[in-house]
């Protein structure tokens, strides 16, 4: 007689939906607990909670379960990047030329300074250039979320968001140039060295422009009814992220092009600005608890001194150039320094970029990935604190007094 048990065979780890529920619950209560201990942004609480429940901590959520959540996290990041792109006012950039100059100067200043620093610390030329290119970009999701959390309004916060879009765009271009050199150095043909970067640039721009056209077209037919437009925006962001993943394009660039082009083509202003505040709160918890759970502390032992030097150099150049160029931006030098301090968070895309290099050339990317991971471990926690302090000290935050 065969034995029969109606009890389910319990898995060795949580499935995706259970992991998602745990992330949301732990994130909310963990962030509240952290804020009771220290006045830090909610994002820092989410990251610390993720670190606690992830594989490095209690391992309540396994690496396998985290892998299953990657597409949800990509969608969350995509919505934040799209919102940042919609806030980018190209007409203001054309009028306020010093804002554009400041964004380019800070970006290139960070790149050159990090490149020289890493050469002095013993990195080879190409590794130093790639790590410097990655470090040029600030985190769109962190910056936008902290600005929204403290309800900041004013010249510093507006310039900060525009410069984040600028430095991410320049970081991508610098990375593409370095990638072309990397292909050439490792014996690829001239066609691969040239066509692969062009494929990444043109492909991401084409899909971004196409999504922008579709949004304007759909909005004209839907009219001012924002509910339908909100669904279309959500669908197009999801599709853009998915297509970028399928064709191996950088989704960040496609989404920025999508957002900016839809604003540029919307001459009749048929697009109603979508209000994603409720869903953004949900996605923010998922995104940053996931980021904390993904952190790896093993690299800190070997690279912590280099990582701290890297972070200190980024902060010094961003704040220094912000203060130096402040008078041309209608700011006081102190406001300019705070502007630079607010740009400190480094994009979580940095890890993906370093891993992308490692997947193409494993023998080259190990040192690069280790350095980037060590820097991101620190900046995932301290970066949001720096941005929050900059906005509070600038007097632009509207945090209710408790």
pLDDT for residue 240 = 93
pLDDT for residue 232 = 86
Question: What CATH number does the domain located at 16-393 have?
Answer: 1.20.1530.20
pLDDT for residue 12 = 61
- What is the Cα–Cα distance from 146 to 142, expressed in whole angstroms? 6
pLDDT for residue 387 = 96
CA 72 to the chain's CA centroid: 15
The domain locations on the chain are: 16-393
pLDDT for residue 86 = 82
Four-point Cα dihedral 244, 47, 170, 95, nearest 10: 110
Spans of the chain, pLDDT less than 50: 402
């Amino acid at each position: 007689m065969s034995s029969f048990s109606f009890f389910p065979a319990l898995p060795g780890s949580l499935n995706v939906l259970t992991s998602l529920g745990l992330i949301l619950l732990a994130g909310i209560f963990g962030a509240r607990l952290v804020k009771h201990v220290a006045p830090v942004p909610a994002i820092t609480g989410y990251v610390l909670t993720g670190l606690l429940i992830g594989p490095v901590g209690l391992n309540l959520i396994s690496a396998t379960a985290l892998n299953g959540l990657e597409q949800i996290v990509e969608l969350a990041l995509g919505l934040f990047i799209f919102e940042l792109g919609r806030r980018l006012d190209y007409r203001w950039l054309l009028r306020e030329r010093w804002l554009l100059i400041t964004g380019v100067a800070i970006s290139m200043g960070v790149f050159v300074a990090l490149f020289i620093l890493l050469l002095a610390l013993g990195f080879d030329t190409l590794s130093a250039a790639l790590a410097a290119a990655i470090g040029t970009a600030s985190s769109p999701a962190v910056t936008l979320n902290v600005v929204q959390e403290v309800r900041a309004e004013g010249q510093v916060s507006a310039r900060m968001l525009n410069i984040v879009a600028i430095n991410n765009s320049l970081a991508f271009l610098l990375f593409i140039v370095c990638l072309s050199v990397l292909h050439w150095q490792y014996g690829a043909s001239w066609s691969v060295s040239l066509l692969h970067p062009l494929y990444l640039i043109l492909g991401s721009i084409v899909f971004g422009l196409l999504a922008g056209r579709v949004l304007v077209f759909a909005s004209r037919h839907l009219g001012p009814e924002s509910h339908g437009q909100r669904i279309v925006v959500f669908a197009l962001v999801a599709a853009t992220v998915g297509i970028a993943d399928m064709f191996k394009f950088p989704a960040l660039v496609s989404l920025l092009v999508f957002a900016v082009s839809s604003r540029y083509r919307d001459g009749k202003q048929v697009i109603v600005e979508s209000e994603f505040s409720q869903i953004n709160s949900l996605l923010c918890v998922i995104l940053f608890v996931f980021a904390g759970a993904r952190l790896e502390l093993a690299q800190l032992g070997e690279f912590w001194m280099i990582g701290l030097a890297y972070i200190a150099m980024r902060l010094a150049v961003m704040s220094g150039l912000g203060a130096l160029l402040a008078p041309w931006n209608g700011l006081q030098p102190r406001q300019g320094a705070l502007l630079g301090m607010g740009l400190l968070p480094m994009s979580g895309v940095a890890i993906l970029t370093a891993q992308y290099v490692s997947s193409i050339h494993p023998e080259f990317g190990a040192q690069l990935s280790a350095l980037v991971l060590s820097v991101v471990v620190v900046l995932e926690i301290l970066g949001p604190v720096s941005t929050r302090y900059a906005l509070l000290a600038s007097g632009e935050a509207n945090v209710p007094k408790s």
